[in-house]
Each structure stands twice: as C-alpha cells, then as structure tokens.
Amino acid sequence: MITDAQVERWLREDVGHHDVTNRVPGETTGRLVAKESGVAAGLEAAAAVFDYLDVTVTDRLEDGTEVEPGDDLCRVEGSAREVLRGERVAVNLAGHASGIATRTREAVTAAAAESDDVAVAATRKTTPGLRGVEKRAVVAGGGDTHRLDLSHMVMVKDNHIEEMGLEEAIARFDERTSFATKIDVEVETVADAPRAAAAGADIVLLDNMTPAETRAAVDELAEYEGVLAEASGGITVADVPDYAATGVDVISMGSLTHSAPSLDLSFRTGT
C-alpha cells in the first residue's frame, strides 16, 4: 500500500518550495505512454501520486501487462497544474518499476525454458524508500519477492559464520526464532551444503558457485528431505538457464532490482 507520507516525500523532492514551471491554468488530460517493449509495473504508485493531487486516473493497466511502443499505461484528467506537477514523479516511478518487471520476466522465461520447478527471486538489494515498489515490480514480472525485511526469514551469512561457526550460528538462531520462521544458510563450498542441512537449515544458499558446483551441491542435498537449494551471487539473466538446469529450487538475483534499466516511458498531455 502506498501511503500519503510516501507520496508527500516524493513530491516534496521534485516540486520544492517555489514551483513556477507548472503554474498552468485550466484543465487537461494526460497519458503515460510506453516508448519501448516491456512489462508494466509501478502503476499503483503512479496512480497514488495523481490521486494525492486530486487528479483522476482512468484506464490504468494491470501491473504485469506486456506493452509495446505507443501503448498507454494509464490516462489522467484534472487541473493542468496538478497533472504537470505529478507527471515526472509518476513517470520515474513507473519507468523504474517497469524496468524491474521487464528484467524479472526475462529471467523467469529463461528459467522456465530449462525447468518448471525453479523460482526466480529478488533480494534485499533494493533502493531505500522504494522497496515496496520494487518488490511489487518483481511480482509483476512473475518473480518471487524473497524476504521483504529482516523479520521475514533468518539468513545465516558469511559474517555470522565467521563470528560463530556454521553449526553454532544455525543453532543460535534456531533457538531464537518462531517455528514459522525459516532459516536460510549461506555456504560457499559444496562440502558445506550438507553440513548446513544437517545442522537445521531449511534453505541452503549456494553462494557464488559455478553451475557445476551448484549441481554437485544439489546432489549432496538430495538426502535431506524438505531442504531447498538456492543459487545466488552475481547471477545474470544470461546465466539463468545454466543454473536452472542444476536442479536448484530457487535462483535469487540482486540484479533484478539494483541493475535493471528503467523502461522508457513518456507523459503526454492533451488528446
């Protein structure tokens, strides 16, 4: 849910304290238009900006809709001054989110070509203040959000293992979590994958392993019923087929959110 407080911050950053540019009289209409092919997302956020300014949003596409150049993502009507005040923030939000959704759809499609059983997930490598928008964009592209924040799942990472050791770190967090909270353990070698599973990991994250190493680790985990294998670490869309073919359950990709280029959108007033 997009809050008024979020919208106020976005608009305050863009409008500033003395907006002369957009003091345009009268009423107008406008439309958010795709300039390239992709997957629409972020339209809830864009609509929230216009709603806050008392601009009416009409004909809004559903997030996840594939668009082509010239397609309208949404239309608006209202005070020309407020339409123009909202358009840049709306375009930036929707363009950024649509870029993430587009990149995610590419990764999901690449994974599905090799396996019907692998999920493509995002990470916490998101822009501060925009995590909700970015995670919803991942979903629009067909991906999984992974954990939304630190409370959603325990991740035992290399720094925890360095401080406490693998088994001790897992045991420590297992004692302090609810039965409903999963424990995801990051390992960097094939040999450590079964160690993590035996110590109580629900998910074993195979970090920065090659596809061959990932396949070997998946084989090592086969005897641990219910333990999921997750591949992660610098994986690109081009790498996805090779990792999907290893038998992992999840491919998590920070690049879905931190490196996806914005989809090129524009905002045009009038008919």
Dump pLDDT digits (tens) for 111-145: 999 999 999 999 999 999 999 999 999 999 999 99
The span from the CA of 96 to the CA of 265, in Å, is 10
Element (H, E) at 116: none
pLDDT above 90: residue 102: yes
What are the phi and psi torsion angles at 122 (to 5°)?
-85, -170
pLDDT (0 to 100) of residue 162: 87
Q: Assign 44 to helix, strand or coil.
A: helix
C-alpha–C-alpha distance, residues 214 and 195, integer Å: 15
Which amino acid is present at 81? R
* CA gap 43, 51 in Å, rounded: 12
Q: Express each pLDDT in 151-202 by its tens digit.
A: 889 999 988 988 899 999 999 999 988 888 999 999 999 999 999 999 999 9
Residues 13-61 have pLDDT tens digits of 877 766 666 677 788 999 999 999 999 999 999 999 999 999 999 999 9
Domains of the chain: 4-108+260-269 (3.90.1170.20), 111-258 (3.20.20.70)
pLDDT at 271 over 70: no
Helical (H) or strand (E) element with 110: helix 80-112
Question: Which pLDDT tens digit goes with each residue over 207-240?
Answer: 999 999 999 999 999 999 999 999 999 999 999 9
Alpha helices in 177-269 (DSSP H): 192-199, 211-221, 240-244, 255-258
pLDDT for res 68: 98
> Are the CB atoms for 170 and 205 separated by under 8 Å?
no
Phi then psi for residue 118, to 5 deg, are -100, 135
3-state secondary structure of 142: coil
- Residues marked active site are found at 88, 125, 157, 186, 207
